[in-house]
Amino acid sequence: EDQVTQSPEALRLQEGESSSLNCSYTVSGLRGLFWYRQDPGKGPEFLFTLYSAGEEKEKERLKATLTKKESFLHITAPKPEDSATYLCAVQALSGGSNYKLTFGKGTLLTVNP
Interacting residues toward other proteins by CB under 8 A: 31-32, 34, 36, 41-46, 49, 87, 89, 91, 97-106
The set of residues, in sequence order, having a beta carbon less than 8 Å from that of 6 and lying 6+ positions away, is 21, 22, 23, 24, 86, 87, 88, 104, 105, 106, 107
Compute the distance between CA of residue 64 and CA of residue 87 in angstroms, rounded to an integer.
12
Name the minimum Å distance from CB 6 to other proteins: 9
Cβ proximity to other proteins: between 14 and 46 the closer is 46
Tell me the closest approach of the beta carbon of residue 96 to other proteins, in angstroms. 9
Give the residue with the Cβ less far from other proteins, 79 or 105. Answer: 105
